[in-house]
Structure 1
Amino acid sequence: MIINTGGRTDTVQYYTKWLIKRFEEGYVLSRNPLFPNKVTSYELTPEKVDCVIFCSKNYEPILNEINKITEKFNTYFHYTITAYGKDVEPGVPTIEKSIETLKKLSNIIGKKRLAWRYDPILLTKKYTIQQHVEIFEMIAKEVAPYIDRCIFSFVEMYKKLEKNMPEIIPLTDTDKNILAKSLGEVSAKYGLYIQTCGTNKKYSNYGINISGCITTDIIGNANKTVFKDLKHKGMREGCHCIESRDIGAYDACMNGCKYCYAIIQILKKHLKIINTIILILH
């Protein structure tokens, strides 16, 4: 079983004590977001959990206690650092502070268990292609020696996103190719392994790999462990990740990122289930 601590909310930044306590007590309750009355209990023990996946935009609150988990479990960490400021990510530390914290985390857990996420990539009049490339290189130069890989993705244009960010400029295929080519060149310059996430689009001609961000190979190599290569459907369309069990709750993150579509995803899935039930009843 793979436990994902950051798929629903930033538990590391805002619910650190709760997260540590759950691992200390050896269990966690997870409520089904589609059916609130359904609650699942997961055993948080090395015998039951194959790997714990972390995803956060600020690991500072957990640095002094992360060994309580890493010493007992296989782990892998995703650290999201983007080009955006407080106008888009109001609850997220500055890029400089995030880089500093990433280096501290890497020194604690080792670079093989740490990936830098540069996503989602979106365009506005302020956050242009040139702006992305310049900031990406600035971050890459600093973090390349401290991470296993870089993972990037392009924003998905949901209707609610258009409402929350009317300033957003839809990415064209040409935009994506220019960005992919530039990110590939920067990554090659600093010896950084780079891959896509959540897409079947291939940019291999730019030196970019296609893979899931949570695969048995990635977490196995990071922890010097061999996992069974199980067949799976991924977490959503275009996803190549092995399935995991999310803990925490949706709509509990205080980062306030304007592009966040975690809630949109769950509502979309909810509507699909309702429509299926209606068809069956008719």
Structure 2
Amino acid sequence: MIINVGGRTDIVNYYTPWLLNRLKEGFAYSRNPFARENVYKLSLKPEDVDCLLFCSKNYRPILDHIGKIDKDYNILCNYTITAYGKDIELKVPTIDQSVKTLERLSDTVGRNKILWRYDPILLTDKYTVERHLETFEYMAEKIAPLVYRCIFSFVDMYKKVEENMPEIIPFTDEDKVRLLKGIGEISKNCNLYTQSCATDESYEKYNIHAAGCTTREILEHAHNVVYKNVRGRGIRKNCHCIPSRDIGAYNSCLSECKYCYANRKPDIPRKVIKLHDEKSPLLLGHLRPDDNLIETKAISYIEPMQTTLFDF
């Protein structure tokens, strides 16, 4: 079972004490966001977890603990560092601050367990194609030696994104081609393996590889084990990732990114944070009398080790 620590909210940045308590106790509850009476109990015991899949825009709160977690679990760290400033990502560290944190993270767990996420790519009057390429090159030169590969995606224009960020300028075909060519050339010059995310389109002619950020290839490279051939079935359209179970909750990320997919409105997290109790098995609130608690069976995606005569 792959445990997603960052799909619904940035747990690492804002809820590390809660996460450490959950790992210590060996389980967490996860409320179904669509059938809220259903609460799943997920084992966090190392023997039941194939991978702790982290995704965050700031690993500083967990740096002092990530080495110990890495010894106990297979981990994969997605680190999102974009071109945007405080005008779009209100509470996210600056690029240079993030790179310093990434340096420490890479020194601690190894570059093979880190993916740099440059996403989502969106256009405004300020963040033009040229601005993206200039910033991507600046970052790629610094980040390439610290990570296994780079993953990017173009913004998904969900209704809530359109409402919260009306200044987004739609991509033209020419915009996309210029970005793809530029990102591909910069990646080649920096010896950075770059791939797309959440798309069925092929960008191979631009030196950009196929989509999938939690694939067998990536996991096996990170953990030196063999994963089963599990069909990709992620939560976003055209997602090719191995399925995972999320222990977070929507509408609880405090970064206030204007393009956020996981918050309906930017002000909601400031209200729901009052429900957070770092001692509770649930990220938000507690189990209610009418909740349906469901014990989740831990199904491993890792192939059992093959015994040979040389093992005796």
**Could you state the TM-score of these two structures normalised by the residue count of structure 2?**
0.83
SS state at 1:167 partner:
coil
Give deviations 1:159-193, integer Å, cap 9, x for gaps. Answer: 22222112110112221111011000000001000
Question: In the alignment, is residue 120 of structure 1 matched against residue 123 of structure 2?
Answer: no
| Equivalent position of 1:101 in the other structure | 101
Structure 1 Cα separation of the partners of residues 43 and 203 of structure 2 = 40
1:17-166 correspondence to structure 2 within 5 Å: 17-166=17-166
AA in 2 matched with 1:219: L
Q: Structure 2 unaligned runs (5+)? A: 265-312
Name the aligned partner's letter for residue 249 of structure 2. Answer: A
Contact kept in structure 2, 1:196 and 1:208, CA below 8 Å = yes
Indicate if the aligned counterparts of 2:149 and 2:194 stay in contact, CA closer than 8 A: yes
Q: Please say if residues 252 and 263 of structure 2, whose CA atoms lie closer than 8 Å, have aligned partners that are also in contact.
A: no
**Which residue number corresponds to residue 274 of structure 1?**
none
User: Which residue does the alignment assign to 2:15?
Assistant: 15
Q: What secondary structure does 1:65 align onto? A: helix
Q: How does 1:101-250 map to 2 (within 5 A)?
A: 101-250=101-250
Greater alpha carbon shift after TM alignment, 56-65 vs 31-40: 31-40
Q: 2:35 is matched by which residue type in structure 1?
A: F
The aligned counterpart of 2:256 is: 256
Higher Rg: 2
User: How many corresponding residue pairs?
Assistant: 264
Alignment partner of 2:195: what SS?
strand
Per the TM alignment, residue 15 of structure 1 is displaced from its structure 2 partner at its CA by 0.3
The question of whether the paired residues in 1 share the 8 Å contact of 2:253 and 2:263 is answered with no
Q: Aligned to 1:47, what secondary structure does the other structure show? A: helix
Partners of 2:118 and 2:232 lie apart in 1 by 25
Which SS does the other structure have where 1:192 is aligned? coil
| 2-structure distance, mates of 1:211, 1:165 | 26
2:46 alignment partner, SS class? coil
User: What amino acid is aligned across from residue 211 of structure 1 in structure 2?
Assistant: A
Query: 1:203: how far off?
Result: 0.8
2 CA distance for matches of 1:241 and 1:11? Answer: 20
Q: 1:263: Cα distance to partner? A: 4.2
- Partner AA of 1:134 in structure 2: E
Q: What SS does structure 2 have at the residue aligned with 1:76?
A: strand
Task: Read off the aligned partner of 1:111 and give its amino acid letter.
Answer: R
Distance 1:211 1:198 in 2: 6
- Partner Cα separation in structure 2 for residue 81 and residue 236 of structure 1: 20
Does the 8 A contact of 1:157 with 1:170 survive in 2? Answer: no
How far, CA to CA, are the matches of 1:233 and 1:105 in structure 2? 29
Contact 1:8-1:246 at 8 Å conserved across structures: yes
Q: Distance in 2 between matches of 1:64 and 1:161?
A: 35
Deviation at 1:133, TM superposition (A): 0.2
RMSD of Structure 2 on Structure 1 (CA): 1.0
Q: What letter is aligned with 1:244?
A: S
Stretches (4+) displaced over 6 A? none
Gaps (5+ residues) in structure 1?
Answer: 265-282
Shift of residue 105 of structure 1? 0.4
| Residue in structure 2 matched with residue 269 of structure 1 by the alignment | none
2:200–2:211 Cα contact (<8 Å) kept: no
SS in 1 for 2:137: helix
Q: In the alignment, residue 38 of structure 2 is paired with which amino acid?
A: K
Give the match's secondary structure for 2:170: coil
Counterpart amino acid of residue 240 in structure 1? H
